[in-house]
Amino acid sequence: MLKIEKQLTEKDLCILLQGRLDSQTSPQLEKEILDSIPGVEKLTLDMKELEYISSAGLRVLLVAMKAMKNQGEMKLVSVGETVRDILEVTGFADILTIE
């Protein structure tokens, strides 16, 4: 299950993720991101309460990164240990901006 909370301040969008980002929940996040980013210059994904990410989730992060490349920037914040380990092992820690 994945809970998504969005906070838009002018051109800054912060999305808080809670739960698991896997093949079941990734389509939901992908749609939320792509529907919400028109006009956004800074996209922040707060991963503090994200417990797990699968290849499907990584794919959505890549889609989001590509979409934001033409209009601004994207970063991940408050990445927990489990998700950070997955990002490191898969190489995504070097591809994404993580603070």
Partner 1 sequence: MEHDFRYVRFQGRELAENTLFPKGIFSICHQLANEKMDEEDAALFFEIDKWFSEELPWPGPCKRQERVVCFFKTENTEEMIKMVRPMMWLLEKYNHPYYVVFTNTPGEIVYEDRWQVCCKVEDPEIVAVQPSWSPKD
User: Is residue 78 within 8 Å of 46, Cβ to Cβ?
Assistant: yes
Q: What is the smallest separation between the CB atom of 92 and partner 1, expressed in angstroms?
A: 6
User: Is residue 84 within 8 Å of 53, Cβ to Cβ?
Assistant: no
Residue 95 in contact with partner 1, rule: CB under 8 A: yes
| Closer CB to partner 1, 11 or 59, in the complex | 59
Cα–Cα dist 81/79, whole Å:
7
- Give me 46's structure tokens: 């707060």
Among 63, 72, 78, 84, binds partner 1 (CB under 8 A): 63
Q: What is the smallest separation between the CB atom of 7 and partner 1, expressed in angstroms?
A: 27
- Give me 40's structure tokens: 């956004």
Task: Give me the residues that bind partner 1 (CB under 8 A), please.
Answer: 22-23, 54-56, 58-59, 62-63, 66, 89-92, 94-95
